[in-house]
Every structure is written in C-alpha cells, then in structure tokens.
C-alpha cells in the first residue's frame, strides 16, 4: 500500500495517517528488548519478565524517508515491530484494563547500529537513537478495532519477505507490557511502545529498501507499508567519544546467526572422537597426564555419585549460589530464577556444575529440576552442596554428583545468583566450556586447549599398561618391563603393529 493511500476505508473504519503532528506529540519512545518466541529461540534465552530501553523522540521519522548508516560502521540492522500508541494517561493500570489505554497500533522499524552498542552498557542510547532510527507509520489502526493477540508483522528488504510472525507468538502480551511500564511512570497520550521484533532481523546496507507492515488479517485493517531507504553517512565519529567497534559476537547478533554473518561455525572441542577416547581410559590415567603438564588442582573433590557405574563426559555450564540473605532471596530466589533458567537452557552433552560453597545444609538440586536437565539432554549435574529427594534423583537416568543429602529447600542456605561464569566447586575452578570427566573414581576438569593431547596420551598409556599386564601374565619379570627398556619398547611396537591393544 502506498503512502498516498494511507487514508482508507476498511469496514467503515477510517485510518488516520502518521504525520509530523503525530511525531511531535510523542513524548516517550519505549522499546522492549525481547518479546517474540522466535527471536528468543535465536538468542538462546527466554526472559522471565520484559525489560526495556528508551529511544530519543528525535529518532522518529515518517514513511518514505531515509536512514543513514553512520560512517565507519558496518552493522546497521532493521527490526520490524508493532508500535503501540498510547491513547490516554495510564498509571498503575491492571493487565485486564491495559489494552483500553492503547489508542492505536502501527508499523515501526527499530533500527540500530551494533558497532556502537558496546559504549552504553545495554542502554542502547546511541546505538538506537540516531536521527531517523525509528520510522513509524504510515497509518494508525484503531486499537479497539483489532485483537491484540491476532496482529501480524511482516518485513521486506528489497522486495524479499524476511520477517513474518504474529502476536500470538509473543512471550509477553501487549497488555502486560503496558501495565508493567505504567507501574513506575505515567504513559501519556502519544507515547509509543515498540513491542519487540520476531526472528529475521538482520543487517542492511546503503541502497537497501526496508518495508514493514502491521495488519489484522481477520479485519483486513493494515498500517500500510512503512518504507525506509538506507543511505551512507559521510561524517566519521569524533575521536573525543566512543568510536565504532565490533566483535564477531556483535556480527552474529546483528545478522541473527553466525552462519548469516559469514562466520565459520566453531567446531566443538568435545567431538565424538575425543569423547570416545576419554571414555576408553581410566580417570586416574587422565589425572596423571594432566599432572605431567603441571595441572595438579583439576579435580572436584569430596562428592559422591548417584550412578557408580556411569562415566560422565561433557561440557561445563556453571551456576553460582551466594549465601542466603532474605531480601536477596525475595528478589532473586523466586520465580524463573538463575537456577531454573540455566537448567531450562542446558543443551545436549552439557554438565551443570554448581558452586554451593561446600554448604551441605540445603538442597541445590531436586528430582524435578534433575528430570528437566535430563530432558534437555544434559550429561550430568555436579554440586558441592546438598541434594533433596535423593532417592528420586538417584532413580533418574541422569547421573548426579553431590556432597550430601539434605531435606531443606534452597532458600535455607542459598540464593541462586548467576550463570555461565567461572566458579569454584569442590576445591577447584571450573569455567564454562571446560570438559568434565567424572565417574565413581573422581571428577576431573580438562582445559579445552589440552583435552585432545591429554586424551591421546591417556589412550597410549593405557595401551602400554595393557601390554605390560599381558607380558607379566605370560610369566615375564617386571625388571626392564615396568617401565619398559629399549628392548621391551621395540617388542611393544611389534605388538601394536600386530593388532595388540585393539
């Protein structure tokens, strides 16, 4: 739909255009960080509650305009979104009443430059508030004429459809967002709320034309297509402030994935071949190989396994508890806390390592969360704290390692605090990405950079031990054989060449 046809009659509803007066009446532009399930899946995390940032009202622009990619930057990204326009003052409104405070909805494009995102610690002040970074329009759809859970948002780049989702897929309904924001601030008529973008957001370059449309398929009401053309800026950032800087992580976020950003996917350190090598050797042999490399403090000590016949090999994910403080447990212990979030984010082959300070006076794991970790594909759970429901946990298929059993709930001693950081567990340091090898004989932490050579050495050492054992069994003396002298080494290589140790 062209801007010339903004004023349209659809089921006797006149759609008013977004014009300069509309933009001037906008006092606040608020935006939701993450709200669509498809986008959350891309990001690999589902927020427990909505969070927000603000955009300058000077970033607003009309359909048919241009947006400048600043000189010296490479990661200008579009985000097609539904914009809510507040119709009447809203302060501490309920979720049930919140939608009645929305006057209209329209299309918006939450443009941002990832090259400068680092500079404002997540507030997005400069990366999202450039002039023209918030085009809206071209028409306002009356909010009372549509179902907020049945709107559709679509985005085209150079005529190709790249985003297509509906508000049925929202993690946080519009009413919740409006009610939540109104708890601490008055939403004034004309204020706009950008409600998040679905999957498909990516990078655009000068010459690209981006179009966003919001419509209600059941009523045929549409905002029309919001059109923005990208141009190249010529004025570089001044040296007296932050200048553009990007990492591969920025590129991955801006494009939506490592593949889309042209970044070679990192090969996993713990390959199936490496895993098979580590599974074939004793924990003691791996420990000896680590010690030869000067690593003496790489065992998690003092824990016992629920499965004495199982070996766990996986990649570390970490969770840290801090000592319970009642006010902090109230703010961080309930709901979708750090403990529940990381368990719900475990992947195939992960080993969750919990730092509980060796405190045994409360459970840090129970049967329900252990079952959820198993369903997520985790290889095991390790805690230097207590386990509740021990019989039930031990009956699950997922191995767990723990300091003691204890019937008390988490809040007696712990507050789940943060995840995927360096932690201390059972007397050693564990970092996310470390390789964990654990069985009834002990729990070892392998630095990823050494894992392959340690595994190869351990396999070779055990093959040599098998040869020595066989020779002693056949009646040979240990003198010169254990350790092997030159003659026995030559015989060992002949044995290997003949298929020994296979």
Q: What is the pTM of this model?
A: 0.58
CB crowding 241-276: b at 16 or more within 10 Å, else e: eeebebeeebbbbbbbebeebeeeeeeebbeeebbe
426 and 477 in one domain?
no
In DSSP notation, 353-372 reads: EEE-TT--SSEEE-HHHHHH
197 and 236 in one domain?
yes
* Whether pLDDT at 9 is above 70: no
Q: Which domain holds residue 40?
A: 11-251
441 and 456 in one domain?
no
The answer as to whether 439 is a domain residue is: yes
pLDDT of 259 reads: 84
The answer as to whether 267 is a domain residue is: no
Q: Which residues are annotated as a binding site?
A: 366-369, 388-389
For residue 436, the domain's CATH number is 3.50.30.40
Last residue of a domain, one of 188, 216, 251: 251
225 and 93 in one domain?
yes
Quick one: pLDDT band at residue 468, thresholds 50, 70, 90? very high
* Whether pLDDT at 84 is above 70: yes
92 and 215 in one domain?
yes
**Which DSSP category does 36 fall into?**
B
Quick one: pLDDT band at residue 44, thresholds 50, 70, 90? confident
For residue 111, the domain's CATH number is 3.90.850.10
Quick one: pLDDT band at residue 120, thresholds 50, 70, 90? confident
Q: Which residues are annotated as a binding site for Mg(2+)?
A: 389
CA distances from 37 to 28, 34, 42, 108, 257 (A): 26, 9, 9, 19, 16
Q: What percent of the chain clears pLDDT 90, i.e. is strictly above it?
A: 80
pLDDT digits (tens, 9 = 90+) for 179-210: 999 999 999 999 999 999 999 999 999 999 99
Q: Which residues are annotated as a binding site for substrate?
A: 366-369, 388
The answer as to whether 470 is a domain residue is: yes
């Amino acid at each position: 739909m062209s801007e010339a046809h903004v004023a349209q009659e659809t089921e006797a509803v006149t759609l008013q255009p977004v014009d300069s007066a509309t933009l001037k009446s906008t006092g606040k532009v608020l935006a939701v960080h993450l709200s669509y399930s498809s986008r959350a899946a891309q990001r690999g995390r589902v927020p427990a509650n909505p969070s927000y940032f603000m955009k300058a009202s000077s970033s607003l622009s009309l359909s048919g305009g241009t947006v400048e990619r600043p000189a010296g930057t490479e990661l200008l990204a579009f985000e097609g979104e539904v914009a809510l326009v507040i119709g009447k003052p809203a302060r501490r409104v309920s979720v049930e009443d919140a939608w009645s405070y929305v006057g209209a909805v329209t299309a918006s494009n939450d443009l941002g430059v990832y090259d400068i995102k680092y500079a404002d610690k997540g507030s997005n002040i400069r990366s999202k508030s450039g002039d023209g970074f918030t085009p809206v329009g071209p028409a306002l759809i009356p909010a009372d004429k549509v179902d907020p859970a049945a709107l559709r948002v679509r985005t085209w780049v150079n005529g190709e459809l790249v985003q297509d989702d509906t508000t049925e897929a929202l993690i946080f309904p519009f009413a919740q967002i409006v009610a939540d924001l109104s708890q601490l601030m008055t939403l004034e008529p004309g204020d706009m709320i950008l409600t998040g973008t679905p999957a498909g957001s990516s990078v655009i370059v000068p010459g690209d034309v981006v179009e966003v449309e919001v419509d209600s398929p059941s009523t045929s009401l549409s905002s029309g297509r919001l059109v923005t053309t990208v141009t190249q800026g010529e004025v570089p950032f001044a040296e007296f402030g932050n200048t553009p800087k990007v990492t591969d992580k920025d590129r991955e976020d801006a494009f939506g994935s490592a593949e889309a950003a042209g970044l070679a996917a990192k090969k996993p350190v713990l390959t199936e071949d490496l895993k098979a090598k580590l599974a074939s050797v004793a924990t003691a042999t791996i420990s000896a190989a680590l010690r030869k490399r000067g690593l003496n403090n790489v065992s998690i000590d003092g824990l016992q396994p629920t499965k004495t016949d199982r070996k766990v090999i996986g990649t570390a994910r970490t969770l840290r508890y801090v000592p319970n403080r009642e006010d902090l447990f109230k703010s961080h212990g309930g709901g979708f806390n750090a403990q529940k979030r990381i368990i719900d984010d475990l992947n195939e082959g992960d080993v969750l390592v919990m730092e509980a300070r060796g405190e045994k006076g409360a459970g840090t794991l129970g049967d329900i969360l252990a079952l959820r970790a198993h369903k997520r594909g985790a290889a095991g759970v390790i805690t230097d704290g207590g386990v509740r429901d021990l019989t039930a946990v031990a009956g699950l298929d997922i191995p767990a390692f723990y300091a003691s059993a204890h019937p008390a709930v988490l809040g007696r001693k712990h507050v789940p605090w943060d995840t995927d950081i360096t932690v201390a567990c059972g007397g050693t340091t564990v970092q996310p990405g470390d390789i964990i090898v654990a069985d009834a004989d002990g729990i070892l932490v392998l630095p990823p950079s050494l894992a392959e050579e340690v595994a190869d050495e351990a396999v070779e050492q055990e093959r040599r031990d098998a040869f020595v054992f066989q020779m002693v069994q056949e009646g040979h003396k240990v003198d010169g054989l254990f350790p092997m002298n030159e003659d026995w080494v030559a015989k060992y290589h002949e044995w290997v060449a003949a298929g020994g140790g296979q």
